[in-house]
Amino acid sequence: MLGKLTSYSTYMDSAELSSSLRSVIAALHKGLRKQTSAAGAYSMTELETIGHLFRNPTLLPTELAALTRITTQSMSQILSKMEAQRVIKRTPSKEDKRKVGISLTAVGKKLVEKNLYEKDEWLKNEIERTLTDKEKELLAKVLPVLNKLIEIK
């Protein structure tokens, strides 16, 4: 079962690496979903959407959909929900009347600053509880590597 040794690892070839990575991603994702699904909280994708709007003053629905990797139709539904909650606002463009700028409302921004990181509490606690400082450092180092895997091409 063990793949042939290569230069990049004494233990794993890419097949085993991907299988193990899939496995741990599935488990972590389930842990996260269980957290966020508690009591009318934001879903994973809603959380991502809010995060993008926090870092970018305004974005189009299409752009948000691409960033969060869902269809524009699904994004449209999320936006309607968040608009009803006064978390985001839709501002139709004057140059191109098809376009609708999406941005956080004042209420939304306040809510985000107060709550966004709190939503990650579970994972944060898991990290602090189970990992050593050295492991945290390693994790921080590998994040850009993981992000390379999901770059939009």
Partner DNA sequence: ATAACTTGTTAGTTTACCTAACAAAATTAA
Partner DNA sequence: TTAATTTTGTTAGGTAAACTAACAAGTTAT
Residues forming contacts to DNA in the complex (CB under 7 A) are 30, 34, 36-37, 43-46, 60-63, 69-80, 90, 95-100
Provide, rounded to whole angstroms, the least separation between the CB of residue 17 and a second copy: 6
User: DSSP for the chain?
Assistant: -PPPP-SS-SS--HHHHHHHHHHHHHHHHHHHHHHHTSTTPPPHHHHHHHHHHHHSS-B-HHHHHHHHTS-HHHHHHHHHHHHHTTSEEEEE-SSSTT-EEEEE-HHHHHHHHHHTTGGGHHHHHHHHHH--HHHHHHHHHHHHHHHHHT---
φ/ψ of 131, rounded to 5, equals -100, 145
The binder of 7, among DNA, a second copy, none, by C-beta within 5 to 8 A per type, is a second copy
The pattern of x and - marking residues 79 through 118 that bind a second copy according to CB under 8 A reads -------------------------------------xx-
Residue among 2, 39, 106, 143 that touches a second copy (CB under 8 A):
143
Residue 71 binds a second copy, judged by CB under 8 A: no
Residues that bind a second copy (CB under 8 A): 6-9, 11-12, 14-15, 17-32, 44-45, 47-48, 51, 69-70, 116-117, 120, 123-124, 126-128, 130-131, 133-143, 145-151
